[in-house]
Amino acid sequence: MHKQMIAAGAVLALGTAANADLLWDAGQGHHGMDPDRQGLITHFGTAPGGADSSVIGDPATSFGGNWTQAGDDDHHRRADSFIVGDAPGWYVDSITVYGYVTGGDVTGNPFGSFNINVWDDSPDQGNLVGSSTDYLTPEFTGIYRQSSSNFPDNDARGIFAITLTFDDALELSTGEYWWDVQHQGENTAWMPVLTDVDGDGNPITPEGHSMHFGSDGWNTPDSGDQTYSLPAQVNGSIIPAPGALALLGLAGLVGSRRRR
């Protein structure tokens, strides 16, 4: 399914990284989760040092999925979708994903480098919209990925936020898009899945439709016989509607005449 890009130059420098807003959060956008949980937190303040815990939720059985390049091959990659819901569209400046290196030092940076692609459909079917190898320094979130057996004391998997940026903001019209990301480095990076709690406070893994690129190509992975979503945020700004642009132009013209 191909989506038309908003014409370049329709708005001049109105959507930049300097004034980027949160446009999409996977936990809220797909599952209506409590935003304070960041799509990951199951227990507040229970981990070492008063950090938060992200405990593997039923029916998932693994801490996370590999997204580190294997040798000279293109796998592994992880992908999930987001929805541009504001007409006429969005300027996307950056996308934030989450990862950890088992045993990695949370006071430093245990990662190598990253790359990201954005598609107008799933990566195995869509057209490439944009890509980047630029990113901000990964930041420790204050969340540890844990299991029910090593909760709450295990601190081997500190989760970092990794924000990948675009030099030129992507101009996306309304519709569903997909991102896919890859880590490159000596350490193996893992990506936790979206995690929530049920009405009794028990960790759960909501069903989703994320994808994994492995040695056999793109597929839909499962953990505990269920597909899942990945925590991520899309940042940028809403493209002003044509009427708003006309008003901006008129205001500029009036101001110019008054200064004469």
For residue 132, the model assigns a pLDDT of 98
Asked whether the predicted pLDDT for residue 65 surpasses 50, the reply is yes
What letter represents residue 182's amino acid? Answer: Q
For residue 228, the model assigns a pLDDT of 94
DSSP character string of 200-256? TS-EE--B---EEEETTEEE---SSS--B---EEEEEEEPPPHHHHHHHHHHHHHHH
Do residues 115 and 184 lie in contact, with contact meaning Cβ atoms separated by under 8 Å? yes
What letter represents residue 98's amino acid? Answer: Y
Mean pLDDT in residue range 51-74: 94
For residue 5, the model assigns a pLDDT of 40
**Model's pTM, two decimal places?**
0.87
DSSP character string of 108-138? S----EEEEEEESS-TTTS-EEEEE-EEPPP
Whole-number average pLDDT of the chain: 88
pLDDT (tens digit, 9 = 90+) per residue, 115-159? 999 999 999 999 999 999 999 999 999 999 999 999 999 999 999
